[in-house]
Structure 1
Amino acid sequence: MASSSSAGQGKENEVPRNGKEVDPAPPRFGTVNKQVSKKRPLNALELGPRKRPAQQDPLVHHGRHFGRTICAFSNVHSLLLLGLSEKDIVPETQQERREHRVYRKLLKLVPGLEERLLEANGDDDGAIFDIATHKGAASARSDDTKSLKSAVIDWITPSDGEPLRPPLARNVKVDRGIKEQLRNKTMAIPGNHWPLFVYRDEEWHDDPLKAWTGLFRSKLLVYAYKHVFTSPSSVDDDPKSTRSGNARIHGMTCVTPASVAYITTQLRFALSSASIFSRTDKETDSETFYTSVLELFEDPEEQDEVKALMAWWNRQVFPSFSNVPRTIPTNSVLSKIKERRAVLKARALNERGDD
């Protein structure tokens, strides 16, 4: 006589005459099987099949670099409309000149963009580009805000091992800045007032003739710039970084004035007690601060100082970059090639003269 267990198994595997499958017996508690495919059931405690990573829209990729190095706060859609409608109009005001420059840099950043917009028919490519670029710029800004929030604590901690007094939490900003006065509205810091950290060694000179001395040349700014653009490990000159920095990913080989303004704005926010980086934030007034820095960099009368500043930044971040042409040794192979080319050009000119 068959046992009850074997009888139960017989019934479990039995198929009725009408051809319909019998529902399996309820599983034991804690071992629910989820049917992933007809070939192999998946236990609830097992990992599911790995999803293929979603391919990022190239426009989002461009948007990240656009926000960091060209314009952190902009209405891309109106910028595109303005650029397309005023191609032959000479900008007159400082705002119009800035928008025109940003538009030209945007076209250079995204090859074929202008042709694509001009040829757009039913598809609203302008709106699509606006959304994608805004998404890229916003995500980059959020990533940088999050990473700088904790990194800045390491940079302002005394190098002699003494702790910060009062101590500051790495991931909580409520204790940073002059929060109480700002919260009670007894003190307000407008965006066009610049903090001391923008100066080398935090030394500000009251003498107008020394206003550029040390300006935007502080160690904190260089640390923050390297952290975002080259890699966090490059702040300590550590060559062991395994990830490509944002500069290499986007083919960036020199510092731009807008990128310095962006990093200065990010660092200013990181040192404040504000928790949300927003262009409408009245506590930090970040957009006004960013714009005031950018206006200085774009002032035609300050270009000699700005060029000297950018050269200084390139030596800090991209040591191989140089605006100075390299001299060729007189007895080198390269000098002989140049000499040969000059002889051939002179010979060709003489032959044309004879004709």
Structure 2
Amino acid sequence: MAGNNQQSRHASSSESSVAQKRTHSSALELGPRKKQSTQDPLVHHGRHFGCAVHAFCNVQTLISNGITLMGERDDEPEEDLMVVERREYAVFRELLQMAPRLEACIMDSSEEEVILIADLIQKGANGARADDTKGMKSAIIDWITPKGQSLNPHIPRNVKSGRGFNHERTGALLCPAGLDWNNTETRTKLVNGQIQVAGDQWPVFLYANYWYDPEDPWNGLLRSGLLVSALKHIFTSLSSVDQEPKATRSGNAHIHGMRFVTKASITYVATQAHFSLTSAQVFSRTDLVTNSEHFYNSILELLDDPEEKDEVDQLLIWWNRQVFPLYSDMERMPSKNSALARICQKHAEYTESAASVPT
């Protein structure tokens, strides 16, 4: 009974401790419509954590190792940590930043309470992944069907068996970059499994216009229209996929205060889209056919590689222009030649002139 009371008190305190969002919401901006929800705030944050920070994370181990790094190794320079430790610690810090008081709550809690916190966050991450998998399974059929045409043979929206390399359309999209789907021998080997596709053999659907340049493998990578539709479907709103501003509910990005695309969010939608195109029935991190966890980690490791920073920065700029144009710094500047721009210019000229007058 005492344990139940302790958990009850902790759940109550956690609600107030994680209420703040990582991104400040201005009182001068119209927020999302709110409705009554009984969902635990930790589950709420966990849903966004899994989509935008790390999808295949063991939250309990992450928090345990993070506490160790914050305590026992507090005096050790971060650059002295192993690469895996640095990456893991960065994810842990991201988790804490999603709810500013979460750090104090974790540090002041007992081991049993920390496990409860981790379980609630994990529940949110797992729940979001399951919901997104279910939703994208049917939606992706619309995105891969050419406008005004139909798929032949027809692919049912809620059936996976006819997808993957078993179908001309999904097979072409899943064909590893560098292989030719139009080559009969290659296609036959992919269909019958003679060619085993590893998670780091990325499919051509990740590329703009589904075209891969072996001489410049960064060209168009993670810029396909299919990925844009997938990210909008998960993070903004269902209607934004068709660029029709008719949604009556706010997207997940707005709800969670997300104002820019993250490397993990791009990787997450790529993984979800990849699974939706395959014939696999159940999303599993250890599935050797879709190899989802290896697929996810291989993309995220590339985007986190310091050597690729310039390319990644350009990629993020491109994505933010696709998904969050209203929140970019450029969009907040007065339009060129507008009355507001001219007023700002005249003010700057006056200020400069006044400053040059000797006193």
TM-score (norm 1): 0.75
Partner of 2:142: 154
User: Structure 2 vs 1, CA of residues 335 and 318 (structure 1 numbering), >3 Å: closer, same or farther?
Assistant: farther
Mark the CA change 1:341 to 1:99 in structure 2 (over 3 Å): closer, same or farther.
farther
Give, in angstroms, the shift of residue 342 of structure 1. Answer: 12
Counterpart selection for 2:58 from 53, 67, 75: 75
- What amino acid maps onto 1:314 in structure 2? N
1:58 corresponds in structure 2 to 41
Q: Secondary structure at the match of 1:186?
A: coil
Hey, what's the Cα distance between the residues in 1 that align with 2:218 and 2:97?
Answer: 31
5+ residue gaps, structure 2, are: 1-35, 167-187
Instruction: Determine helix, strand or coil for the equivalent of 2:293.
Output: helix
Give, in angstroms, the shift of residue 134 of structure 1: 0.9
- Give the aligned partner of residue 155 of structure 2: 168
- 1:84 aligned residue (49, 61, 67): 67
Bigger helix fraction? 2
CA 1:206–1:263 in 2, change beyond 3 Å: closer, same or farther?
A: same
Q: Distance in 2 between matches of 1:297 and 1:196?
A: 18
Shift of 1:278: 1.3
Q: Distance in 2 between matches of 1:131 and 1:252?
A: 23
The one of 175, 198, 212 equivalent to 1:204 is 212
| Aligned with residue 223 of structure 1, among 222, 225, 229 | 229
Tell me what 1:192 maps to: 200
Deviates more, 1:329-338 or 1:309-318: 329-338
Residue 114 of structure 1 is matched in structure 2 by 103
CA contact (8 A) 1:224 1:263 kept: yes
Supply the distance in 2 between the matched residues of 1:330 and 1:158 (Cα, whole angstroms): 43
1:112 shift after superposition: 1.0
Name 2:112's counterpart in structure 1.
124
AA aligned opposite 1:196: V
* Alignment of 1:140 onto 2:128: yes
**1:1-355 → structure 2 map (5 Å cutoff):** 55-87=38-70, 88=74, 89=76, 90-91=78-79, 92-121=81-110, 124-159=112-147, 161-178=148-165, 185-207=193-215, 210-323=216-329, 326=333, 332=343, 336=347
Deviates more, 1:79-88 or 1:235-244: 79-88
**Structure 1 residue 309: deviation in Å?**
0.2
| Contact 1:176–1:273 (Cα < 8 Å) also in 2 | yes
Distance 1:111 1:341, change over 3 A: farther
Larger radius of gyration: 1
Higher relative contact order (CA 8 A, sep 6+): 2
- State the AA in 1 paired with 2:275: F
* 1:238 to partner: Cα distance: 1.0
* Alignment-mate amino acid for residue 273 of structure 2: L
- Whole-angstrom CA distance in 2 between matches of 1:199 and 1:234: 21
CA distance in 1, matches of 2:206, 2:237: 21
Q: Tell me how far apart the structure 2 counterparts of residues 309 and 342 of structure 1 sit (CA, whole Å).
A: 41
How well do the aligned residues superpose, as a CA RMSD in angstroms?
2.9
The change in CA–CA distance for 1:335 and 1:95 in structure 2 (over 3 A counts) is farther
Q: What letter matches 1:64 in structure 2?
A: R
The amino acid that maps onto 2:209 is: D
Q: Percent identity?
A: 47
Find the aligned partners of 1:182 and 1:134 in 2 and give their Cα distance.
35
Measure the CA separation in 2 of the matches of 1:335 and 1:304.
37
Amino acid of the residue matched to residue 168 of structure 1?
I
Unaligned runs of 5+ in 1: 1-52, 345-349, 351-355
TM-score where L is the length of structure 2:
0.74
CA distance in 2 between counterparts of 1:342 and 1:81 reads 60
Return the letter of the residue paired with 1:195.
Answer: P
| One-letter amino acid of the structure 2 residue matched with residue 211 of structure 1 | P
